[in-house]
Amino acid sequence: MIIGCSSPTKEETCEANTFLEVTAPSLTLDENNIYHIEFLDGYTQTFSTLDGNTGVGNFHKVYWGSDKGIIYGGEAVSCVNSASYTDENGMSHTVFSAWEILIGDTITVYAGYTNDCNVEVKDSIKIVIENYNCD
């Protein structure tokens, strides 16, 4: 049994759990840290799953957004679902959707959450929409 005279302060604890890492594990990542998705010919949309690692369980709400999307039925539609929750391991997931009109564009996907100390933590990735080539 070890007994100590000091314990981490709330500030130290808050600093220790303030990160967010967004990745797209099923997409190709190039040397410039840009992901690439091939749009599937003949489909209306092409999808991929994105991950957000907070490293902190406790079921935090992670907000997602993108800098591009489409207008559908008079409403703006983002390329990602707007929110998800972390699991007990601190992982959250969302779905990225690309439409044919976005082929050739680079989409920035943003994510963020507020940790237990009310500190906002953010991250982003870029995804290029490429035309699928059967050749």
In a domain, 9, yes or no: no
Give the range of the structural domain holding residue 88, as residue numbers without chain letter: 18-131
The answer to whether the CB of 24 falls within 8 A of the CB of 52 is: no
Residue 110: per-residue pLDDT: 98
The partner residues of 94 in beta bridges, in order of sequence, read: 50
Domain count, the chain: 1
Which tokens in the block code for residue 133?
Answer: 């080539």
In a domain, 1, yes or no: no
In a domain, 99, yes or no: yes
CA distance linking residue 114 with residue 90, whole number of Å: 13
- CATH number, domain with residue 94: 2.60.40.2550
In a domain, 41, yes or no: yes
- Which amino acid, one-letter code, is at 8? P
Residue 128: per-residue pLDDT: 98
In a domain, 2, yes or no: no
In a domain, 30, yes or no: yes
In a domain, 53, yes or no: yes
Kindly list the averaged pLDDT for each block of 10 residues, start to end, along the chain of length 135.
51 67 98 97 95 88 97 96 94 97 97 90 97 68
In a domain, 45, yes or no: yes
